[in-house]
Structure 1
Amino acid sequence: MLNADDDLYALDLTDASFVRACGGPCTEGCVTLARIGADAWALGDSKRPDAEPLRFTSEELSAAGIDPTRFGLPL
């Protein structure tokens, strides 16, 4: 688990494998998610692939109501 001294934005995304979850047709853009560490996630926007993804701990992701299993990712 990450502690208060860890910086999520210092984690490297080079090998991150983002997957999409769409609430409907993926014509308007979708949320993308990648595990970037044991307790770290990156959340992106398929409409803006060049934008820096937001980073979350597992606890923060859960508090936001985002379920990685909806993306086909293990917890």
Structure 2
Amino acid sequence: MLKNGLVEKVESPNERRASGLYITDAGHELAATVRDIVKQQSKDFFADVPKEDRDELLRITKSIYKKIIEARTP
């Protein structure tokens, strides 16, 4: 990502050994493009699925995710 100009590495002014990675304008633009593509693909994929079924799928997925997070938390 550094080579492609999507992020930039900035050294800390207080600590020479520390640096941070920051998303560039090009990185933000690419992220927005990818988000738009994913949204459209999701619309296309679920176009023939009734809203009630989509809502149920989302509810189940959230429940599974919550259980996974709880299991990983000490």
| TM-score above 0.5 | no
Query: Which structure carries more strand by proportion?
Result: 1
Compare relative contact order (CA 8 Å, sep 6+) and give the higher one, 1 or 2: 1
TM-score by length of 1: 0.21
TM-score by length of 2: 0.21
Query: Which structure carries more helix by proportion?
Result: 2
Larger radius of gyration: 2
